[in-house]
Amino acid sequence: MNIIKNLYNWIDERVKLEDLVNFLGKKYVPVHRNSVWYYFGGVSLFFFIIQVVTGILLLFYYKGSADLAFESIQFIMSKVQFGWLIRSIHSWAANLFILAAFIHMFSVYFEKSYRKPREITWVTGMLMFFLALGFGFSGYLLPWNELAFFATKVGTDIAGAVPLIGETLKIFLRGGEEVTGATLSRLFGFHVALLPGIFTALLTIHLLLVQRQGMSEPLRVEALKQSEKKTMPFFPNFLLRDLLLWLLILNVLAILAVFFPSELGRKADLFASAPAGIKPEWYFLFMFQTLKYIPAHLLIFEGEVVGILLFMVAGVLWLLVPFWDTKSSKGQQNRLINYLGLFAVIFIIVLTILGWIA
Amino acid sequence: MNNSSSSQKQNNRRDFLKYLLTGGLLGFASAVIYPLIAYLKPPKQREVEVSSVKVGKLSEIEKNSGRIIRFGNKPVILVRTAAGDLRAFSATCTHLDCTVQFKSDQSILWCACHNGKYDLNGRNISGPPPRPLDSFRVVIQGEEVLISKNV
């Protein structure tokens, strides 16, 4: 105990930990009937940490080239001790990360926590969400199996339908006209260097803002008198609950990874036909399914282009919601936001299910 | 008396819970850490057991020359002296694992990393190498030159 105290004093003398301790001591988390949603930011963060750790571990054995990628994962799955576990956890945590981020995003949206003064927190969060989808897309190709190969073909082809920049974007993503080993090298670089770099910068801003501004209160709680508000100290009460939840999640992850390990499938063959029943990952399914319903031609436009444009417009509107929902920032009710959010949730769920059973 | 014994009981219970929680946490932590450490241990790759390697035809090996031969996954240096003798040594410098080369102008085996020198019997004659190079057997079968382990 003395050693810890001495170490603390040693650091405190140099960097003045006192301010930080005082700050943490004064940090409170609002308590109300929707407090449970506060946990999903932390849960997403935990999944991200797991992805960083297991990702680095996979890098020790993974080989990012078309000739070796598939075999190196076979090696990880069959020869390396607990290799199957590390890969399965990476794959499960990736899916659950996106699920947690979805929940976090919608809870923040419905509570209008993005309203002034938290616009930057919302925008950085949304950008991280898009990056998370990018992580999913780029990581999916890395095993270089049949499914990954065709998913990447379709995905980059969709990017190619974006007006004006589409063709350039497609060639940039593919590293050429076609999906080849060059695409693998590129997406590997995105997945392990470019995206984590940008993500970390955004995450730092996001977390600093959350600390600086504190947790947002729902409008109806904000309207209460100070004496009627209930709070809980962040340290240690909330933090310990956070940690306990993380512990539970780690167990759930382990159970999923053990009983439903990720498969590897067949090695990609650039000249084989696409297997029947091929589908994108579930978080892309609603967009994929929507594109199927749009007719090939709408007036003079190509149906696919219209669909992609609609999704892009919706994404930009969603990203910028703090700036056009001025009512919430003034503390007024804005029912339109609730209806739009509800529509988005139902749309995503219904089309995901339709895509799943199709 | 009664009071102190009940507080004693409470303390015992508290201690029991403390040990249970600490033990549980330690067990959990080791269940997480053990797979991570085991994962980092590189799996044993089957090494190809090599006992001899064909080098080529005797007539193709020039006098006063040396070359590196792949012997399993280790380099071996084959030297043909000015007199025409064939000798083979492990090419791994005994100092810090660099690969040595034949210097025809001085008739020595030289390691470029730290200027270690060996004579053409593999003996360390100058610089930091602590030991001579391990020697290999050179066998000539007809025209064919073979290198094999010195048993």
- Please report, for chain B, the start and end positions of each structural domain, with discontinuous segments joined by +: 1-44, 52-149
CB A163 within 8 A of CB A305: yes
Closest CA relative to residue A305, chosen from A160, A149, A126: A160
Closest CA relative to residue B43, chosen from A90, A87, A77: A77
The 10 Å CB-count burial string (b at 16+, else e) for A189-208 is ebbbeebbeebeebbebbee
> Is 2.102.10.10 the CATH number for B52-149?
yes
**DSSP 8-state assignment for residue A49:** H
Give B-chain residues touching A81 at CB under 8 angstroms.
35, 38-39, 41, 43
Report whether pLDDT(B3) > 80. Answer: no
> Is 1.20.810.10 the CATH number for A35-213+233-264?
yes
Report whether pLDDT(B10) > 90. Answer: no
What does the angle CA A283 – CA A289 – CA A294 come to, to the nearest 5 degrees? 140
CB A225 within 8 A of CB A212: no
Confidence at residue A134, expressed as pLDDT on a 0 to 100 scale: 96
* Chain A CB within 8 Å of residue B33 CB: no
Of B28, B38, B42, the CB nearest to A82: B38
CB B88 within 8 A of CB B136: yes
What is the C-alpha R_g of chain A? 23
Give B-chain residues touching A83 at CB under 8 angstroms.
39
Asked if A81 and B38 come within 8 Å (Cβ–Cβ), the reply is: yes
Side chain identity at residue A172, one-letter code: F
Give A-chain residues touching B42 at CB under 8 angstroms.
80
Confidence at residue A175, expressed as pLDDT on a 0 to 100 scale: 94
**DSSP 8-state assignment for residue B97:** S
Q: How far apart are CA B138 and CA B149, in angstroms?
A: 9
Which residues, listed in sequence order, are joined to residue B53 by a DSSP beta bridge?
A: B147
Closest CA relative to residue A106, chosen from A313, A346, A308: A346
pLDDT digits (tens, 9 = 90+) for B84-115: 889 999 999 999 999 999 998 999 999 999 99
Closest CA relative to residue B55, chosen from B120, B144, B142: B144
Of A75, A81, A247, the CB nearest to B39: A81
In angstroms, what separates the C-alpha of A48 from chain B's closest C-alpha?
17
Q: Which residue has the higher pLDDT, B40 or B48?
A: B40
**DSSP 8-state assignment for residue A296:** S
Report whether pLDDT(B9) > 90. Answer: no
Which residues, listed in sequence order, are joined to residue A28 by a DSSP beta bridge?
A: A233
pLDDT digits (tens, 9 = 90+) for B122-133: 999 999 999 999
Closest CA relative to residue B134, chosen from B96, B90, B92, B80: B90
* Chain B CB within 8 Å of residue A273 CB: no
**DSSP 8-state assignment for residue B65:** E
Asked if A81 and B43 come within 8 Å (Cβ–Cβ), the reply is: yes
* Chain A CB within 8 Å of residue B19 CB: no
Report whether pLDDT(B4) > 80. Answer: no
Please report, in tens digits, the pLDDT of each residue of chain A (358 residues total): 689 999 999 999 999 888 888 888 888 899 999 899 999 999 999 999 999 999 999 999 999 999 999 999 999 999 999 999 999 999 999 999 999 999 999 999 999 999 999 999 999 999 999 999 999 999 999 999 999 999 999 999 989 988 889 999 999 999 999 999 999 999 999 999 999 999 999 999 999 999 999 899 998 888 889 888 899 998 889 999 999 999 999 999 999 999 999 999 999 988 888 888 788 899 999 999 998 898 888 888 888 889 999 999 999 999 999 999 999 989 888 999 999 999 999 999 999 999 998 8
* Chain B CB within 8 Å of residue A257 CB: no
Confidence at residue B2, expressed as pLDDT on a 0 to 100 scale: 59
Side chain identity at residue A115, one-letter code: R
Half-sphere exposure of A156 (CA within 13 A, CB side): 26
The 10 Å CB-count burial string (b at 16+, else e) for B90-107 is bbbbbbeeeebbbeeeee
**How many Cβ atoms from other residues are within 10 Å of residue A232's Cβ?**
13
* Chain A CB within 8 Å of residue B46 CB: no
Q: How far apart are CA A348 and CA A283, in angstroms?
A: 9
Residue B3 CA: distances (Å) to CA of A50, B7, B8, B9, B14: 49, 6, 9, 10, 16
State pTM to two decimals.
0.87
In angstroms, what separates the C-alpha of B84 from chain A's closest C-alpha?
44
* Chain B CB within 8 Å of residue A41 CB: no
Confidence at residue A272, expressed as pLDDT on a 0 to 100 scale: 86
In the three-class reduction of DSSP (H, G, I as helix; E, B as strand; rest coil), residue B109 is classed as strand
Confidence at residue B51, expressed as pLDDT on a 0 to 100 scale: 83
